Structure 1
């Protein structure tokens, strides 16, 4: 008999942890999943899914305007935020139950509680009723994800994070959002779409660091056209509560009085309460769990995947890492995932999706690259009167003629780039794109008609 209670303990029942546990159990590993909150994790319950639902909801105001441009006679309309949040939460409850069933039906045990390391093979679990138990395992996987991180300044406690923004009982009349990444621009679009006076404050000169510079400019122009006030190259120096409002003092001397302030200045690995330093697990400068190509820490029995490693903080990557781990450890398959050409999307308004290198990144990597570009006003907008424009790019290695990057800002960008990502992953040449017949009339056909 094994001297351990389990073959594998997975701490965290998000998308990555759940996939790790399910596949491991399918190979016969006796597996326990420990989750301090609800099975489903950040993406399903506090991130991607509820955010996308609110993005959908917020877009209807612009769609009504478009409908009027197409000569629909639209009567007075208004949103009901409170009822929307209830419907959103009902859907999240359904997804949570699906995750619980996925875990249990795969043969895993599931304990609701907070896991903390006592030794390399032993954790304590503080259950919801404050009962504390200890459980041992031959291997332990850390899959706890990340959490919001705010800069230090007077009054930063008054900021809400994205978790709370997704569950506000009432819609504010005005809001300051502090940040310039995915979360900041996505929530700016959400609140603006619901008619909230929205201010985006950020210290950089452009939003979305790391993306194609022209696409970043396109997004900022579009956001401003839609009514979002951009305060670039400034920081928040202080937030004060003034009656029912907040006074937000900016580093340029301006002062904004708003109903709500949201911090979206980044996320860090959620490791502070795991006890990792007590048992000697190596941690990086941002709190990330350091792992090798096997997702193994410096302690051979402890592994980590997903956002807690701060490598590629995307849910599908965590899922893929967990599945590959299970295949290697219990399925007798030396399978690893590739971190090259991982597609991603930002559900801003308009949305952005990319795969591969930008032109600047290619040049900096020593690639002799060529950029192909198409920019236009979508057919729909020519009648609706919407001034929003679409921009699409292909980056080509001139030596090999391989397409090494694709970038798009515009409606349905994620749906389009997902297909382009398959072609780039397969090593498609620019001539393969050129010889492909386009679907007309569509935005997607622009990717196969780009010429010098």
Structure 2
């Protein structure tokens, strides 16, 4: 950075490409440390999470949960007339909230002294950024925080499908929905659209959904969704999409005919393509600046988020490490403190908690059972299946599944996995315990809160199973 009184070699100290969670945090913190910061965002401030990801998804999840609540209310004495769900009203409410949050992001950047330009930006060299209007700016440090975009493997008729980006703004509610994929996005949308009234089919290429999660959690959500009437086709994938018949005397969009690799034939109003996300690096000019990427196009970074070019950094999904908003935010903050605040620190990726906002939710932190067995000589696994108290009145038999994975030699808890109502809220607190080195004995010494299903975490006296390879 240039010193006061000198003619600056650079137009800005920091140029941030991308106004999502990681970029916004980095820009604000760096500006707070006195840096001259410019941020370029070609779309809306807030990025995937706020505009077309976590936030609108969670709002839709909230809407979907009223279906079960209304069904069960009568069992608790409520007299409710026939409810009616109105899709356009939900979309409008979502739009209002997203606009409000976007405004807050813009206000926060302005108050911090960050100059925001709504433009595409690309690298010309290691210190030069060109904007879409033709301007070129010189920056001492450049941060790339362009996130990721939906991954779309090629197959015939793929243009007839939509991604999660479009699913939040559909003009008509899809009464029949086919979902390709079985990760976070697929399973969350399957649950919420089913609850809102769609006939949902999930086409999963693997042997089960949610690859990478603990096996018990994967089995629990598949069984739960099947019981709810969601069709889950395992070991299959979409082969072809084709336009079908126009519905409603030509008043509704044409249906979509879906053919799978295993020969299944489905008809849908919409096909949601949720095959994962790929780093958004095409067209950034990385090769001109000398920034190296891996075989998937992700920017290669070190533990300090530094790329192969010393003055260029990258945070968030564009580096393809942990595709989670809180990770991007933490990386952006660590970068800004380290480079501009003379307070160097690095992100600790151990015990990163995450949740799937299904119904019930999945919350997980730490090692899965299989990961623990691969790395530890003795592993104790504790499991409890708990029938919620409300089920005694409603007759709903959806049970919670609580699971602890423990180092059988040190008694330290290696992983916690929950399939339960509000698991996302519970796993946040439990992640603090794991990060602090919690043990089973420590859990057992804690007083329970009654009546809750989480108290069962303290009541599992003996392991369900022990693996010992000493």
Indicate the TM-score class for this superposition, using the shorter chain for normalisation. Answer: over 0.9
Match of 2:295 in 1: 285
Aligned residues: 448
In the TM superposition, residue 75 of structure 1 has moved relative to its aligned partner by 1.4
Distance 1:74 1:228 in 2: 26
Are residue 106 (structure 1) and residue 112 (structure 2) matched?
yes
1:402 touches 1:430 (CA, 8 Å); kept in 2? yes
Match of 2:38 in 1: 32
Structure 2: gaps of 5 or more residues: 1-6, 246-253, 463-470
Matches within 5 A, 1:424-439: 424-439=434-449
Distance 1:214 1:139 in 2: 45
CA offsets 1:52-111 (integer angstroms, 9 cap, x no match): 000000111111112133343321111110011011101000000000011111011110
Distance 2:81 2:227 in 1: 24
Distance 1:415 1:120 in 2: 43
Match of 1:44 in 2: 50
In the TM superposition, residue 260 of structure 1 has moved relative to its aligned partner by 0.8
Match of 1:220 in 2: 222
In the TM superposition, residue 366 of structure 1 has moved relative to its aligned partner by 3.2
Distance 2:302 2:21 in 1: 21
Match of 1:5 among 8, 11, 30: 11
Distance 1:415 1:367 in 2: 32
Matches within 5 A, 1:120-159: 120-126=126-132, 131-159=133-161
Distance 1:247 1:308 in 2: 34
Are residue 339 (structure 1) and residue 345 (structure 2) matched?
no
Structure 1: gaps of 5 or more residues: none
TM-score (norm 1): 0.98
Are residue 319 (structure 1) and residue 329 (structure 2) matched?
yes
Q: CA RMSD in A?
A: 1.0
Match of 2:385 in 1: 375
Are residue 232 (structure 1) and residue 196 (structure 2) matched?
no
Match of 1:97 in 2: 103
Partner SS state of residue 136, structure 1: strand
Distance 2:81 2:347 in 1: 52
CA offsets 1:133-183 (integer angstroms, 9 cap, x no match): 111100000001000011111111111000100111110110100000000
Partner SS state of residue 246, structure 1: strand
2:376 touches 2:407 (CA, 8 Å); kept in 1? no
Matches within 5 A, 1:158-197: 158-197=160-199
CA offsets 1:283-336 (integer angstroms, 9 cap, x no match): 011110000111111111110000000001110011111111111111111211
Distance 1:132 1:92 in 2: 30
1:359 touches 1:370 (CA, 8 Å); kept in 2? no
Are residue 15 (structure 1) and residue 21 (structure 2) matched?
yes
Which has the higher mean CA deviation after the structures are superposed, 420-429 or 361-370?
A: 361-370
Distance 2:81 2:224 in 1: 26
Which has the higher mean CA deviation after the structures are superposed, 272-281 or 298-307?
A: 272-281
Distance 2:213 2:194 in 1: 23
1:373 touches 1:450 (CA, 8 Å); kept in 2? yes
Match of 2:249 in 1: none
CA offsets 1:22-60 (integer angstroms, 9 cap, x no match): 110111111001101011111011100000000000111
1:176 touches 1:200 (CA, 8 Å); kept in 2? yes
In the TM superposition, residue 358 of structure 1 has moved relative to its aligned partner by 1.2
